[in-house]
Chains A and B, each alone.
Chain A
Amino acid sequence: MPMKIEGGPFKARVEEALHNDFMRGAVRRAQDGLRGRKLAATNEDRDFEDWEAWRQAGEAVRRHTIENLDYYLEQLSENVEARGGHVFFAATAEEATAYIRQVVKAKDAKRIIKSKSMVTEEISLNAALEADGCEVVETDLGEYILQLDDHEPPSHLVAPAVHKNQAQIRELYAKKIGYTATEKPEEITAHTRKVLRETFLHADIGITGCNFAVAETGTVTLLTNEGNADLATSLPKTQISVMGMERLVPTWEDLDILVSLLSRSAVGQRLATYVTALTPGREEGSVDGPEDFHLVIVDAGRSKALGTEFQDVLHCIRCGACINVCPVYRHIGGHAYGSIYQGPIGAVLSPILGDSDAFKTLPFASSLCGACTEACPVGIPLHEQLVAHRRAIVEDHGEAPWFEKLAMRGFGAAAAKPERFARAGGTVRLAKPLARAWTAEREFPAPARTTFRKWFEERKGAGR
Chain B
Amino acid sequence: MERERFLARVAAGLGRERRREAERPDWRGQPHQRLYADESAEALGDLFEEQCRFMKTEVKRTSRAELAEVLESTAAEYGGGPVVVSDDERYEAYGLGGFLQREGVSVWDDAKGRGMIELAERAKVGVSFADLALAESGTVVVFSRPGNGRTLHMLPENYIAIIPKGRLVPRFSQASRYIQENFIRKNGVPSCVKFISGPSNSADIELKSVVGVHGPVRAAFLLVEDA
Contacts of B86 in A (CB 8 A): none
Tell yes or no: B186 within 8 A of A by CB.
Answer: no
Q: Is the CB of B213 within 8 A of A216?
A: no
CB distance from A116 to the nearest CB of B (A): 10
CA distance A201 to B117 in the complex (A): 9
Cβ contacts under 8 Å, B175 to chain A:
256
Can you list, as one digit per residue, whether each of B150-166 has a CB less than 8 Å from chain A (1) or not (0)? 11011100000000000
The prevalent SS among residues of B at the interface is loop
Residues of B within 8 A of A83 (CB): 188
B residues less than 8 Å from A231 (CB atoms): 151, 154-155, 214-215
A72 to B11, CA, bound (A): 12
Number of A-B contacts (CB under 8 A): 281
Residue interface bits B18-57, CB-to-A below 8 A is 1, else 0: 1111101101001110111000000000010001000100
- The answer on a CB contact under 8 Å between B172 and A230 is no
Known A-B contacts A61-B25, A190-B212, A217-B184; the reply to A226 vs B35 at CB < 8 A is no
Docked pose: A189 CA to B213 CA in angstroms: 6
Task: Please tell me which one of the listed residues B7, B9, B195 contacts residue A74 in the complex, with CB atoms under 8 A apart.
Answer: B7
Residues of B within 8 A of A169 (CB): 205
Q: CA separation between A141 and B202, bound complex, in Å?
A: 7
Q: Does B10 contact A (CB under 8 A)?
A: yes
B77, CB-defined interface residue at 8 Å: no
Q: Tell me, yes or no, whether A427 is within 8 Å of chain B by CB.
A: no
> Interface extent on A, as a size class?
35 or more
Does B137 lie at the interface of the complex (its beta carbon under 8 Å from any beta carbon of A)?
yes
Is residue A356 within 8 Å, beta carbon to beta carbon, of the partner chain?
A: no
Q: Which of A34, A235, A250 contacts B24 (CB 8 A)?
A: A250
Asked if B24 contacts A48 (CB within 8 A), the reply is: no
**A393 CA / B151 CA spacing, docked (Å):** 51
**In this complex, what residue of B is CB-closest to A229?**
B214
The answer to whether the Cβ of B90 comes within 8 Å of any Cβ in the partner chain is no
In the bound complex, CA of A29 to CA of B207 (Å): 8
- Considering the chains assembled together, what is the distance between the CA atoms of A91 and B206 in angstroms? 38
Q: Is the CB of A159 within 8 A of B149?
A: no
Q: How close is B172's CB to chain A, nearest CB, in angstroms?
A: 5
Q: Which of B14, B193, B200 contacts A69, CB < 8 Å?
A: B14
- Does chain B have a CB within 8 A of A317? no
Scan A147-163; emit 1 where CB is below 8 A from any B CB, else 0.
00000000000011110
Q: How far is the CA of A286 from the CA of B19 in the complex (A)?
A: 38
Listed A/B pairs (23) with beta-carbon separation below 8 Å: A50-B31, A53-B30, A64-B24, A69-B10, A72-B22, A87-B3, A91-B1, A145-B204, A159-B207, A197-B121, A217-B188, A228-B213, A230-B150, A230-B215, A231-B155, A271-B195, A272-B197, A274-B194, A282-B144, A287-B117, A289-B191, A307-B14, A307-B15
Residues of B within 8 A of A (CB): 1-3, 6-11, 13-15, 18-22, 24-25, 27, 30-32, 34-36, 47, 51, 55, 110-114, 116-117, 121, 134, 136-139, 144-146, 149-151, 153-155, 171-173, 175-177, 179-180, 184, 188-208, 210, 212-216
A-B pairs with lowest CB-CB distance, top 6? A306-B13, A227-B215, A142-B204, A271-B137, A68-B22, A275-B195
- State the A residues within 8 Å of B (CB): 26, 29-30, 33-34, 47-50, 53-54, 57, 60-61, 64, 67-74, 77, 83, 87, 89-91, 95, 139-142, 145, 159-162, 164-166, 169, 185-186, 188-190, 192-193, 196-197, 200-201, 216-217, 219, 225-228, 230-231, 233-235, 245, 250-257, 259-260, 263, 267, 269-289, 297, 299, 303-304, 306-307
4 new A-B contacts, CB < 8 A, other than A89-B6, A225-B202, are A145-B205, A196-B214, A274-B197, A286-B191
